[in-house]
Amino acid sequence: MDCDLLITNGLLKTPNNPNPSPDQPGFVAVLGGRIIEIAPMTELPDEVRSARVIDAEGGLVMPGLVNCHNHAAMTLFRGLADDLPLMSWLQEHIFPAEAKFVDPEMVYWCVKLAAAEMIISGTTTVADGYFYEDEAAQAFKDAGIRAIAAQGVIDFPAPGVPDPADNINHAARFIEKWRDDNLITPAIFCHSPYTCSAETIRGAKELTRQEDCLFFIHVSETESEVAESLKRHGISPIRHLEQLGVLDKKTVLVHCVWLDDEDIRIVKETGAGVVSCPESNMKLAAGVAPQDSFIEASIPVGLGTDSCASNNNLDMFREMTVAAKLAKVHRLNPTLLPARQVVKMATSGGAAVLGLQGEIGELTVGSLADIVIIDLRKPHLNPMYEADSLLAYAASGSDVRASIIGGRLVMDDYRLKTIDLPEVVGKVNEMARQVRAGT
């Protein structure tokens, strides 16, 4: 057998064997960026030629995590303003800081810091949306992390798009540039129904249809947003988007906290995906999304951290544990969102939302080799009765020992291989000094 990368002695978490036994370790072989073989160690061929061999040493080998919502550049604003009323946070702190400090260099370096944080904590694919997304895409590519990079569209003057009349054309040029990349998939992020006109939303969706791209939008994040929509349009934000004809399988609805039964029925019928960001929704006191209802309706649901301005970290393991626990206490029902369900949301569920089912989110032959190895020697990861329980309720991003994306080893033995971390931290902290001085 010839391969580029061989992972040995791992507990392989596959769809057919979600709870691998320590007594039956296995191997994963990777060639040309894809998984070509998964089998018990007892079946490892005598002659294997591999450019690289990683001994998992009994670690859990699983698909990398899929973070379905981020504004990665906002690592610069991590902890800049917390514990404030939503409008004061946004209008007095975040918007002014963005107007003053967001430029191409800021986006590049702050996205790289986010990429480092994500790779270290086991995320191998991220769906990002921001301005200067061209620089974001470049930073993701340089870091070696898979990204759906979505150019922001909003009806206000925005960083890099001073004239809102140019916002769709700007996005079109961005998509054109990144269309054929093997790691970066371009898309559009329409900010929201309350910051984008009907014309902008329709135009952006039309462009993504022509280009076969994903269309993201924040929707129904707060109760007041829904009230405002009822006042302006006489209908909920979801019904408004439906009337605009933009809901389909390539539309991703982010937050969806305040959906009623009819909204959920519409989302289900149109095939749109939903991204839940429980930690951000909690921190901003937006509310609790009815994740259990989405799952019951068989709507594709992924998890997202949202940005470091409202979380303030990008650890998808935390997002899993909080998602599972929040759903339970919200309905006072401990059986909701069981461990296997949140692990699915953070892997194959997220992949489905992003239209990448079968490509990422599962450890299967033929999939892209987006793989992480969890170090099971940590005290808090013992004993292990069930891998899903351990991942959902005990593990944290810092338990990830190695990360592989598209067959490329981007972190090995806790060390980043693609990013000069001291350089990135130095650059971002220099910018943070300016933020501190200027706000």
283 touches its own copies (CB under 8 A): yes
Exposure string for 38-49, b = 16+ CB within 10 A, e = fewer: beeeeebeeeee
Q: Which is nearer to its own copies, 266 or 301 (CB)?
A: 301
Tokens 């191409």 belong to residue = 104
Min dist CB 311 to its own copies, Å, is 7
Residue 135 CA, chain-centre distance (Å), reads 18
274: nearest Cα among 190, 348, 202, 218: 218
Min dist CB 369 to its own copies, Å, is 24
89 touches its own copies (CB under 8 A): yes
How far apart are the C-alpha atoms of 333 and 27, rounded to whole Å? 39
Q: Which is nearer to its own copies, 204 or 284 (CB)?
A: 284
Neighbours of 87 (CB within 10 A): 10
Q: Print the SS3 string covering 326-371.
A: HHHHHHCCCCCCCHHHHHHHHHHHHHHHCCCECCECCCCCCCECCE
* 1-9, 194-202, 360-368, 382-390 -> range binding its own copies (CB under 8 A): 382-390
432 touches its own copies (CB under 8 A): yes
* 165-173, 192-200, 238-246, 318-326 -> range binding its own copies (CB under 8 A): 318-326
91 touches its own copies (CB under 8 A): no
- How many residues bind its own copies (CB under 8 A)? The answer is 77
312 touches its own copies (CB under 8 A): yes
* 62-70, 82-90, 350-358, 366-374 -> range binding its own copies (CB under 8 A): 82-90
382 touches its own copies (CB under 8 A): yes
422 touches its own copies (CB under 8 A): yes
429 touches its own copies (CB under 8 A): yes
Phi then psi for residue 123, to 5 deg, are: -85, 130
Min dist CB 401 to its own copies, Å, is 12
45 touches its own copies (CB under 8 A): no
How far apart are the C-alpha atoms of 89 and 309, rounded to whole Å? 10
The residue within the footprint of its own copies, chosen from 37, 98, 117, 134 (CB under 8 A), is: 117
Q: Which is nearer to its own copies, 153 or 428 (CB)?
A: 428
Per-residue binder mask for its own copies (CB under 8 A), 159-198, x = binder = ----------------------------------------
377 touches its own copies (CB under 8 A): yes
Near its own copies in 326-365, by CB under 8 A: 326, 328-329, 331-339
Task: Judge contact between 308 and 111, C-beta under 8 A.
Answer: no
Q: Which is nearer to its own copies, 246 or 324 (CB)?
A: 324
Near its own copies in 240-279, by CB under 8 A: 279
The residue within the footprint of its own copies, chosen from 103, 155, 394, 417 (CB under 8 A), is: 394
The residue within the footprint of its own copies, chosen from 162, 234, 436, 437 (CB under 8 A), is: 436
- Bridge partner list, 271: none
Q: Which is nearer to its own copies, 80 or 274 (CB)?
A: 80
Sign of CA dihedral 359, 144, 170, 194: positive
Q: What is the dihedral of CA 160, 163, 168, 174, to 10 degrees?
A: -20
